[in-house]
């Protein structure tokens, strides 16, 4: 049995998680997969009530689970850094989720803003626990004209090596091509170090091609030539920006999934859709659950249920391709419940 901690979070989080669980239940019953769920009400609403996104023993509580399925966090009146540093980042770091995996694909029924994007199918691998998103720094002379802020980046040989290795190993299973995001011509200490370590690790994977691209040129190529990419690896900041850009290239952040992985499986990994809590549509039953469902498929894959994961992804492709089961963000009129019903039907009927 696999134990899943469920954190619906805020806004549409509970709606899309309900959909994902319905699909998980359907595929689990079909393949005789035993999944157990425990739900936690950790959210911005909890922060407003109790002054914290999760309890003091939250990390200890989660440590006993095999995976974490999260909906969305964020709410008007609660600063974004509170929800990020009060819930998501502590989970990622405590459980050594050093890989943020963001698959990008253009599906039938999802219109890319680009004229030619049919063959886009790549993965952004983001370093998830160090880099530019550190807690080292501070502010001086608050309120005075000479007020200043300092933020330090942290790049370690261990951290860069393991994210590079993950990217190369993933590329071996795909088309054998890694693109490394850098800006070593302007950031003169950390990113030359990144380049050196990535190049060192590349020598252990002679069957995988490596290119290094400066982040500004790489962003342009995401728009102009997205089909050329296979696996793109970047630091915490660069990977964060590139993965959202890539989701937009694919046509909708609303369908994009993410996996925060501890590849060793010593600790639980966390799976969540990329979209936010969308308070403007919360409670209306019109949220697109595709991102949460795809994230659930990534969770199944991580737990070793490869056939079940493939069937969930195939069901999502079929549902997106049908104009009758597209939500408003994709130009349709289907409700969350309509999409969920279609997904469950596709999963149960797949052979």
Active site residues: 133, 183, 216, 240, 244
SS3 assignment, position 149: strand
Neighbours of 248 (CB within 10 A): 17
Neighbours of 316 (CB within 10 A): 26
Helix (H) or strand (E) holding 213: strand 209-214
* Residues 241, 187: Cα–Cα separation, whole Å: 17
C-alpha closest to that of 26 among 351, 338, 261, 341:
341
C-alpha closest to that of 104 among 267, 14, 227, 7:
227
Percent helix, strand and coil across the chain, each rounded to 5?
Answer: 45, 20, 35
Q: Are 96 and 62 in contact (CB under 8 A)?
A: no
Q: Where are the alpha helices (DSSP H) in the chain?
A: 13-31, 44-50, 58-62, 80-83, 89-94, 157-173, 190-202, 215-224, 236-249, 290-302, 306-321, 336-349
Locate 53 and state its tokens.
Answer: 């996104």
Token look-up 């936010």 returns 276
Locate 13 and state its tokens.
Answer: 């989080």
């Amino acid at each position: 049995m696999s134990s899943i901690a469920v954190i619906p979070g805020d806004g549409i989080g509970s709606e899309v998680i309900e959909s994902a669980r319905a699909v998980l239940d359907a595929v689990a019953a079909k393949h005789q997969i035993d999944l157990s769920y425990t739900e936690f009400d950790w959210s911005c609403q909890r922060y407003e009530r109790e002054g914290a996104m999760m309890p003091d023993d939250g990390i200890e509580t989660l440590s006993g689970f095999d995976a974490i399925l999260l909906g969305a966090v964020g709410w008007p009146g609660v600063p974004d850094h509170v929800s990020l540093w009060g819930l998501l980042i502590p989970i990622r770091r405590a459980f050594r989720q050093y890989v943020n995996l963001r698959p990008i694909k253009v599906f039938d029924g999802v219109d890319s803003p680009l004229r030619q994007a049919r063959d886009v199918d790549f993965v952004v691998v983001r370093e998830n626990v160090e880099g530019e998103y550190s807690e080292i720094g501070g502010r001086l002379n608050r309120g005075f004209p000479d007020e200043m802020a300092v933020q330090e980046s942290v790049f370690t040989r261990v951290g860069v090596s393991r994210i590079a290795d993950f990217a190369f190993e993933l590329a071996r299973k795909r088309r054998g091509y890694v693109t490394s995001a850098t800006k070593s011509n302007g950031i003169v200490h950390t990113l030359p170090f990144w380049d050196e370590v990535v190049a060192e690790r590349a020598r252990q994977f002679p069957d995988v091609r490596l290119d290094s691209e400066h982040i500004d040129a790489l962003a342009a190529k995401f728009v102009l030539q997205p089909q050329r990419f296979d696996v793109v690896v970047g630091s915490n900041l660069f990977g964060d920006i590139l993965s959202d850009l890539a989701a937009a290239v694919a046509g909708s952040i609303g369908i994009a999934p993410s996996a925060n992985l501890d590849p060793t499986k010593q600790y639980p990994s966390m799976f969540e859709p990329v979209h936010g809590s969308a308070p403007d549509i919360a409670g209306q039953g019109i949220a697109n659950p595709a991102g949460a469902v795809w994230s659930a498929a990534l969770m199944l894959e991580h737990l070793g249920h490869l056939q079940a994961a493939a069937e969930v992804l195939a069901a999502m492709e079929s549902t997106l391709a049908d104009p009758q089961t597209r939500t408003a963000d994709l130009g349709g009129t289907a409700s969350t419940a309509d999409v969920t019903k279609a997904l469950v039907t596709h999963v149960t009927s797949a052979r």
